Structure 1
C-alpha cells in the first residue's frame, strides 16, 4: 500500500491507496460531500435520501470486483480518512477509451480549504500520468462554480462537451474538463 506525506499542500496529510477497510469512511465522505456540494443543484429529496450504510455496501462491492479503478484516500492523524478520489479509463457509450477519467474527488465538508483536495488531485495526476494516460478528463455540474474553479486552478479547462446527468428524475447539465498529462503532471 502506497503512503506518503503530501507536504506541498498539507504537511500533516498522507495520501495512500484505499483499502477495503476504508469503505465506510469513503461512503461518509461521498454522501456528506454530495449533500454539501450539490444543495440547490440537484433535487434535495435525492440528497436527503442518500444513505451512508448503503453507499458503503456499494463501495465494498466495487472493491471486490478488482476492476481498473484506482482509489486513493487522504488521512490526517486524529480524524483519519477525510478525502477520497478515484480514476480509471475514460467511459464513453459503454466503452473504455485510452484516456483517463477522474470519476470522483470528495473531501469532508469541514476539511475544505485545508489542502486535502489539492493533495488528492496531485496524487491522481501523478498516478494517471505514470499509468501512461495522455490526458485526464472529468465531468462537473455546469452550475457548480466552486468545483469548476478548483479544477481550473488544477490546470483543467472545459473542452466544450456538455451532457445532461440524470439524478433524482431531473436532468442536470454537466460540462467536461480536460488536462493534458505528462510525467511531471502533478506539478
Structure 2
C-alpha cells in the first residue's frame, strides 16, 4: 500500500470531498434514497463551512484523497434522548461521520480517520461519540461496532424525498487503537 495519512481538509479539498460524498452515497444508498435526493448531493454549500472550520479531516493514500471524517461537538438535538432530555454528558459528546470510498475500503482509512478525530476531540474535552447510521447500512454499523460503539436505542426517521430513511444512533467511547 502507498503511504496513507490523515490531514486537515482545506478549501482546496472541497470538490474532492463533495465527489466522495456524492459517489459513495450513490453506490451505497441507491436502494435507500431516491435519485433526486442523491442528485442534490452535488452542491458543495453544505461542506464549505465544515471545511473552513477545520472540522473535516481527509484520508489519503499516495496522491489520492480516499475518505473523510467530520467531527465536532454534537448539537443538542443530535445528542438528546428520544424524549428530548439531554444526557449528563451532552456537553462533552461529539458527533462524527466517517466516509471512505468503497474502492479504498478495508485498508484502515476509516480507523485512521476516526483515531485522528478522537485525538483532536479529546483536546476539546470530548468524552463520548455518536454517529447516525442508516439502519440498513450494515457496513457502517459493523465499522462502528468493531470500535465498541453500539446502538443506544435512539432511532429517527428522515423524509428522504418522500421515502422514509430510518437511522439508528450509535454511541461509544472516544478510544481508537490502531493495529501494529
TM-score (norm 2): 0.82
1:24 paired to 2:8: no
CA distance in 2, matches of 1:120, 1:126: 10
* CA distance 1:63–1:125, change in 2 (3 Å): closer
| Map of 2:95 onto structure 1 | 101
CA distance in 2, matches of 1:123, 1:73: 10
* CA distance 1:115–1:147, change in 2 (3 Å): same
Q: 2:169 aligns with which of 169, 176, 182?
A: 176
Number of residue pairs matched by the alignment:
167
CA distance in 2, matches of 1:124, 1:83: 13
- Aligned residues of 1:128 and 1:136 also touching (Cα < 8 A): no
Which aligned segments of 4 or more residues in structure 1 are displaced greater than 4 angstroms? 94-97
1:75 paired to 2:55: no
Q: 2:107 aligns with which of 114, 119, 122?
A: 114
The Cα shift of 1:46 comes to 2.4
* CA distance 1:109–1:94, change in 2 (3 Å): closer
The Cα shift of 1:95 comes to 8.9
* CA distance 1:94–1:111, change in 2 (3 Å): closer
| Map of 2:47 onto structure 1 | 59
After TM superposition, the structure 1 stretch with the greater mean CA deviation from structure 2, 126-135 or 86-95, is 86-95
Render the CA deviation track for 1:14-43: whole Å, top value 9, x for unaligned. Answer: 101111100011011111111122121222
RMSD of aligned Cα (Å): 2.3
CA distance in 1, matches of 2:4, 2:170: 27
- Aligned residues of 2:130 and 2:172 also touching (Cα < 8 A): yes
Q: 1:149 aligns with which of 142, 161, 166?
A: 142
Render the CA deviation track for 1:138-186: whole Å, top value 9, x for unaligned. Answer: 11111111111111011111111111122222221111111123xxx22
The Cα shift of 1:62 comes to 4.3
- Aligned residues of 1:32 and 1:109 also touching (Cα < 8 A): no
